[in-house]
Amino acid sequence: MNARPATIGNRFTVDLAAIMVFLALSALVLNAMLGSLAALVFIACGGMLAVTNIRQTMDSVIRWWIVLLLPVYCLLTALWSQYPDNTLRYGLQLSFTLVVAVVMTGRLSTTMLMRVLFVVYAIGVVVSILIGNNGGSAWLGIFGSKNAFAAHIAVFVLIAVAIVSDRNGHFLLRLAALGGVLISGPLLILAQSAGAIMMVVPCLAIIVLVLLTARLSLYQKALFCSTDRDCAGGTGAAGCHGRRYPAGRCSGGVRQRPYADGSHRTLGNRAELYC
């Protein structure tokens, strides 16, 4: 259940939950610039978001209780930590952050949350371009670290791709998201973070694959998976014969006998498991 937008007159509606989520997430993105003020804004907006609809907050916490096991464990580690004060403080901070995150997912629809995230991360990108620092050969943006800047860009490009693929989204929003996708590549290169690039590329490939296969019928998906498995099996078989494995250990690249340790050495078996 989502919060009802407040109506102003006969023309404008204001979604208070979306505004509080926007402010809270903006504080996190601009934390490097605002410092303790960002933490204050996040706590205030997150707390208001939780208390303005207690029933929805409790429903979200109960539904996603498994996510909150992590901060509970972190709090318990204070019992044997060498620095219990710091452990307890950080555990409480993590607990509040995850509770607010869970509440956000309950108060906003997935589409609205993605749009808010896109705007928030776009602000971080624009500010980093305008007033960000250049740490010598690598861009640091407003984050003071090339890895933090690259991580921000990596998340931004994935969100932008999601917005572009939303057929129900506004044309201008999708156009802005397309622009974000186009500038993210050069920014990732300027950040010089191999880890972020290695994370983004397979994620984008998966998104594109999902978008393409979503239009296929069930029969076409089954045929696609079968064809992919056969191709991978053939590749595995060719690899076996190319490496001169003993006979009997490669039979088509799909169902080979395991080695003595129970493992398989060909691409075919891994492709079958994937399919």
Reading the chain (275 residues) residue by residue, the pLDDT tens digits are: 444 555 544 444 557 889 999 999 999 998 888 888 999 999 999 999 999 889 999 999 999 999 999 999 999 999 999 999 999 999 999 999 999 999 998 898 889 999 999 999 999 999 988 887 776 678 888 888 888 899 999 999 999 999 998 888 889 999 999 999 999 989 998 888 888 888 888 888 888 888 777 777 676 666 666 665 555 454 444 444 444 444 444 444 444 444 443 333 443 333 333 33
Cβ atoms within 10 Å, residue 130: 8
Cβ atoms within 10 Å, residue 215: 8
pLDDT of residue 225: 67
pTM value > 0.95: no
pLDDT of residue 219: 67
Delimit the domains of the chain by residue range. 1-108, 109-215, 218-274
pLDDT of residue 37: 92
pLDDT of residue 139: 84
Rounded Cα distance, 38 and 44, in Å: 10
pLDDT of residue 240: 44
